[in-house]
Structure 1
Amino acid sequence: RGSRENTGIFIVRSSAARKRPILREWCYQSQVSCNRSCPGPDAWQTVSHQCGGRSQSPVNIVTRKTVKDERLTPLQFDGYQEAFNFHLRNNGHTVQLDLPPGVGVSGGHLDANYKAIQLHLHWGKNGSAGSEHTIDGEQFPMEMHIVHIKEDYNSLSQAVKDPTGIAVLGFFFQESLSENKKYTPLVDALKQIIKPSSNASVSGVSLEMLIPPQSSLTKYFRYSGSLTTPDCAEAVVWTLFESTVPLSRTQLSAFWQLQFPEGTEMIQTYRPAQPLNDRSVFYSTGNASLVSWALLLMSVLLSTL
């Protein structure tokens, strides 16, 4: 047996996991209407008390208040270059790509090695604001989350019990004049999952194709937060990259064609920014790779003397 939980992941429950309370259904604000009483983001506390915590996500990042941290070195992306056959589905809240074994992330002052389990996206409508996190108040058209858990854990249910059990990599999208050819297989597959609970296969795609070039990923923001959907567990180490992914208006519009369970447009699938409270947002210096290359060059020169 399994159930959808948190970020839409379909989790096979162990006997211990079954003891956790089953979440009530929840909605995004775009689903709330006079004819539907499903709790929107402002009422998610009634679904899970953790949604009212003091370390919730997403947040608005005020760049002038970020703290530079030289420990935030470039991340190591393992298996991101491998092309796989992915399982894509409309889980009723978003589009989700389930990830195979062998994909993970490490470095960048993360507590451990983390393995990827899925990615999903949040978007607006007609190119309007749709990202969950904002930068200096700017909301992007779409945001992608690649969800990882510590390698020692077998499921998200285990990882949420650890304050740093989950590592999510966040990528912002910008509208571009030309199509992003790397996204063509994924965008084309969306036509097969218009209805909730529908599935499609995507072949010949690697995670590296879906993110900016790794050389541009040295600058990022880091803070401690939560899952952005109920049960809003405060167990997430967030990494948000400054470099954006370009998609054309036509490609973005393919996401707006998906449908919620009630048959309405799947639009504005984001939680509003939450209070930062007493948390700090750290910023990578972005020059760690340059420093390492300088040290390497110096060692080579010294060895020749």
Structure 2
Amino acid sequence: MQQLILPVLLASFWTICTGSADWCYQSQFTCDHQCNTPDKWNLAHSDCGGKYQSPINIVTRKTLKDERLTPFEFNNYQQIFRDTIKNNGHSVKVGVPHLSTISGGGLPTTYKAVQFHMHWGKHGGPGSEHTIDGEQYPMELHIVHMKHHYTDLTTALSDPEGVAVLGFFYERSNSANRKYDPITNALRSITITNSNTSLPSISLAQLIPAEQNLTSFYRYKGSLTTPGCTEAVIWTVFENTIPLSMDQLRVFSDLQFHDGKPMVGNFRPVQPLNGRQVFRSGGAVILVSSTLLLAAIATALGLSQPN
């Protein structure tokens, strides 16, 4: 009997210590709030331990140019809409009417927008989920789309290519990005988990770089970055960044997790590639080539200067 009691006690202790029913980010874990941090998400959500997880670190020199990664077609991204912005306990989420669609860009079909949300650090510090050559940006925007013929995201996630997410990095700017005023102003009303408020009229186009600046991107097959970590996502990560002032970035850190602690560091660490190939668009190559060309010109000019 004693041999049976010990494993049962240990199992109970493990459950209490890991909080198996409650996933969280590393920034949330405390002695008072013992929850499943990202390294333990797979205990309650087995897919989180899969081979094709997101986010990843994109090593640019190991990416492979893919001629099929043509420029995207953004349809109805200029469409003005009103919706609710919600603090869902681990991010802020905004629902999007299914009128906005993307096609091209090497996607197998047309995908319609469902929602967008962000991941960030602490007071404008490192907080993006994906990284480029090890660099972590202050924040990352995810615009989630599903194949046009699906009516709900749950069904789309049962298709290995059912979801397409566009990822955009934010960078610190000396001036405020006024196009983000509707969002940053609304954040002050939803500091508490599960609170929401109406968002003034906005469009997806105003939140991202101009379409002509979206030809440089990376592509790989991955997963959702929160439990259940379903591996059904075609990821597109853009090179061009979105500027926000430090004050605008800091407003996100004023939100609260469900326990009242500041909502900071709500990003999943990068995951192993496990043999996956990351592809790059032709635009990315042109950007790199232009940079090298400018560097060569600058060097040449420097060498030609008289002593």
TM-score interval for Structure 1 and Structure 2 normalised by the shorter chain: 0.7 to 0.9
Q: Deviation per CA, 1:60-109, whole angstroms, max 9, x where unpaired?
A: 00000000011100111111101111210000110001111211111111
Asked whether the equivalents of residues 116 and 148 of structure 1 are also in contact (C-alpha less than 8 Å), the reply is yes
**Matched ranges for 1:174-193 at <5 A:** 174-193=171-190
Matched, 1:102 2:108: no
Query: Which residue pairs with 1:24 in the alignment?
Result: 21
How far the C-alpha of 1:287 sits from its partner, in A, is: 8.6
Asked whether the equivalents of residues 217 and 284 of structure 2 are also in contact (C-alpha less than 8 Å), the reply is no
Asked whether the equivalents of residues 74 and 288 of structure 1 are also in contact (C-alpha less than 8 Å), the reply is no
Matched, 1:256 2:257: no
Query: Which residue pairs with 1:283 in the alignment?
Result: 280
Query: Which residue pairs with 1:34 in the alignment?
Result: 31
**Matched ranges for 1:64-83 at <5 A:** 64-83=61-80
How far the C-alpha of 1:288 sits from its partner, in A, is: 11
**Which of 111, 115, 121 in structure 1 is aligned with 2:112?**
115
How far the C-alpha of 1:158 sits from its partner, in A, is: 0.7
**Matched ranges for 1:259-270 at <5 A:** 259-270=256-267
Distance in 2 between the 1:126 and 1:94 partners? Answer: 15
What is the letter of the counterpart of residue 36 of structure 2?
P
**Which of 131, 134, 138 in structure 2 is aligned with 1:137?**
134
What is the letter of the counterpart of residue 109 of structure 1?
G
What is the letter of the counterpart of residue 234 of structure 2?
V
Distance in 1 between the 2:51 and 2:282 partners? Answer: 27
Distance in 1 between the 2:284 and 2:64 partners? Answer: 15
**Which of 235, 238, 243 in structure 1 is aligned with 2:240?**
243
Distance in 2 between the 1:59 and 1:84 partners? Answer: 32
Q: Which structure has more helix as a fraction of its residues? A: 2
Distance in 2 between the 1:221 and 1:139 partners? Answer: 16
Asked whether the equivalents of residues 239 and 284 of structure 2 are also in contact (C-alpha less than 8 Å), the reply is no
Distance in 2 between the 1:32 and 1:194 partners? Answer: 19
Distance in 2 between the 1:126 and 1:258 partners? Answer: 11
Q: Deviation per CA, 1:257-293, whole angstroms, max 9, x where unpaired?
A: 000000000000000000011100000002999xxxx
**Matched ranges for 1:158-169 at <5 A:** 158-169=155-166
Distance in 2 between the 1:60 and 1:287 partners? Answer: 16
Query: Which residue pairs with 1:128 in the alignment?
Result: 125
Distance in 2 between the 1:84 and 1:152 partners? Answer: 21
What is the letter of the counterpart of residue 262 of structure 2?
E
What is the letter of the counterpart of residue 33 of structure 2?
R
Q: Which runs of 5+ in 2 are unaligned?
A: 1-19, 287-307
- 1:107/1:199 CA distance change after superposition, 3 Å: same
Matched, 1:90 2:74: no
How far the C-alpha of 1:252 sits from its partner, in A, is: 0.4
Distance in 2 between the 1:45 and 1:211 partners? Answer: 33
What is the letter of the counterpart of residue 163 of structure 1?
P
> What TM-score comes out, normalization by structure 2 length?
0.85
How high is the sequence identity, in percent, across the aligned residues?
54
> What TM-score comes out, normalization by structure 1 length?
0.86
Distance in 2 between the 1:51 and 1:172 partners? Answer: 23
Is 78-87 or 161-170 further displaced after alignment? 78-87
Query: Would you say how many aligned residue pairs link Structure 1 and Structure 2?
Result: 267
Q: Deviation per CA, 1:119-175, whole angstroms, max 9, x where unpaired?
A: 000000022110000000000000000000111111111111111000000000000
